[in-house]
Amino acid sequence: MYQCRVTFLPVLLLAIASLTLANRMAQAQSYTPSLAVSAPQVTQLWDLPQAGPPTTDVRLQGSGFDPLTAVDIYFDSTLVTSTTTDSSGSFGNGVVTVAGPALTHLQVPASALPGEHTITAQEHVGQKSAQKSFLVRTDWAQFRFEPHHSGTNPYENILSADTAGSLALQWSYPTPGGVYFSSPAVVNGMVYIGSADNTLFALNADTGALVWQFAVGYYVDSSPTIVNGVVYFGVYFYDHNLYALNANTGTVIWTYQTDSRTSSVAVANGIAYVGSENGVVYALKADTGELVWSYPIQYSQINSSPAVANGIVYFGDYLGNFYALNADTGALIWKRELSVGGVFSSPAVVDGVIYVGGGDGNYYALDASTGTQIWVYAVGGDGVVSSPAVTNGVVYFGAPYGDVLALDAKTGANLWHYTTGDMVWSSPAVANGVVYIGSQDSKVYAFDAVTGSLLWSYATQQPILSSPAVANGMVYIGSEDGNMYAFGLPSMKGERKSTSAMGLSAKPR
């Protein structure tokens, strides 16, 4: 073991992952003090600078402290946990003892606002301390937020039903062509959006300044997905490529030819899943673009973006059939006839239930294991395109005749509705008690998620088909008027500055 020397400078290291108890035990058995984190079940890992959303589980490893002494762990100035060093003056080294693995964990507070924070390890009695920065982000990384398409950002803690009424335009970025169905993704301080001028744009999320742009062969109307530093998106007619670009630079990592227009991409467990109008669902290795499997459908096409949950891929086709495939092999698990008008809405899979709109004007809830219908709600109109957002037992979506609806997720009963001035093909985003959605009446709206009362709206110059993304206290959406819009609270920049500047003395008390 290490020799204890009082001249050592204390060191605090952070390893961050979303861990179950089983994962933590597996990690404890394989962890070494060399910072190698080798638990194969870890679902997500951040490199330095350490970053993540509120409630992130952070594993701490410290060394260079006094031996066998109590150490207090602070998030900013709040004491959140304590630990004790071993005989070498270290803690969190993962060594399995009689009492269990010697791991030290901290959960980022749910109230931690986006911005830079400080984690401090301070001897309770002694003078030694060490600090690490932690960047809180509440990013929106892909269409409908995550692979199972809940359409909900559970980490948003700036905007709320009390504050959304004060939303104001922070910036807009003009694209030479309109923004149609492409919806923004927000990751690592950048926002990505596709445009009808055959370009994918990467913009500074705070200022709207152009970071890079990438030109393709035709419209970019799929929504970009950003996972592990890679942007995935498909292209409309003529080009027919699925692209994977470096998220920081826009350089091409790989392309895959699908021979037709593609849906938005869902990335889960290292695999990129995408549907195509040639009637094929593709599963590709996310890092190389290598085909893992494909599932062809005869005499149909796929406009619905697949959702991935619990090892199953869910999607609908142009003929109104709905499918569940094994995510690893592409084998059919079940199939059912759903909607005589086709399926254009992308499904959400929440708590074992699939929610999806049909081209026949109905909204459906299906058992995710069997496809059995749980309930159906008659929306009416020419068919539902809007994809659902599901949270807190409520399903939210837009209707072709202009309504925004909220249904009870268990029964399908109508809880509230609001009538906009035109059709609603945009899909809602829900965050911290607020529903955001665009309408073809050219407005973007914010509603109280519980009551349906209108909190705020903003009029653009053309219809809105794009779906909003809510991240880090901002609302992002594109419009057919050729602009990418970003809305936030008037005081938000000042709040971010104070959060980023929040520091601690060497001995917080």
- CATH at residue 83: 2.60.40
- Listing DSSP states for 404-433 in one string gives EEEEETTT--EEEEEE-SS---S--EEETT
* Same domain, yes or no: 115 and 181: no
Which residue would you say has higher pLDDT here, 26 or 172? 172
* Same domain, yes or no: 178 and 131: no
Phi first, then psi: give them for residue 192, nearest 5 degrees.
-120, 140
* Same domain, yes or no: 475 and 327: yes
Question: CB 427: neighbour CB atoms within 10 A?
Answer: 31
Overall average pLDDT of the 276-299 stretch = 94
* Tens digits of residue pLDDT in 216-244: 988 898 999 999 999 999 987 778 889 99
* Same domain, yes or no: 200 and 340: yes
Structural domain count of the chain? 2
Residue 357 CB-half CA count within 13 A:
32
pLDDT on residue 88: 86
Distance of alpha carbon 412 from the chain centroid: 26
CA 333 – CA 435 distance, rounded (Å): 34
**Four-CA torsion 55, 182, 148, 164, nearest 10 degrees:** 40
**What burial letters (b/e) apply to 369-388, b meaning 16+ CB within 10 Å?**
eebeebbbbebeeebbbbbb
- CATH at residue 451: 2.130.10.10
Q: Is residue 152 part of a domain?
A: no
- Listing DSSP states for 252-320 in one string gives EEEEEE-SS-B---EEETTEEEEEBTTSEEEEEETTT--EEEEEE-TT----SPPEEETTEEEEE-TTS
Contacts of 505 (CB under 8 A, 6+ apart): none
Overall average pLDDT of the 81-110 stretch = 78
* Same domain, yes or no: 196 and 84: no
* Same domain, yes or no: 408 and 272: yes
Question: Are 314 and 354 within 8 A, CB to CB?
Answer: yes
Which residue would you say has higher pLDDT here, 48 or 365? 365
pLDDT at 17 over 80: no
Highest mean pLDDT (candidates 19-23, 55-59, 363-367): 363-367
pLDDT on residue 219: 87
pLDDT on residue 105: 83
pLDDT at 498 over 90: no
* Same domain, yes or no: 301 and 374: yes
Question: CB 111: neighbour CB atoms within 10 A?
Answer: 8
Highest mean pLDDT (candidates 12-16, 65-69, 285-289, 501-505): 285-289
* Same domain, yes or no: 462 and 338: yes
pTM: 0.87
* Same domain, yes or no: 240 and 364: yes
Provide the β-strand partners of residue 243.
233, 255
Tell me 164's DSSP state. Answer: G
Query: Which domain range does residue 182 map to?
Result: 164-493
* Same domain, yes or no: 133 and 183: no
Contacts of 180 (CB under 8 A, 6+ apart): 196, 219, 221, 465, 466, 478, 480
Residue 11: pLDDT band by 50, 70, 90 thresholds? low
* Same domain, yes or no: 117 and 215: no
Residue 454: pLDDT band by 50, 70, 90 thresholds? very high
Overall average pLDDT of the 204-212 stretch = 97
User: For the ranges 24-28, 194-198, 338-342, which has the lowest average pLDDT?
Assistant: 24-28
* Tens digits of residue pLDDT in 376-391: 999 988 889 999 999 9
- Whole-number mean pLDDT of the chain? 86
Token digits for 440?
Answer: 């073809």
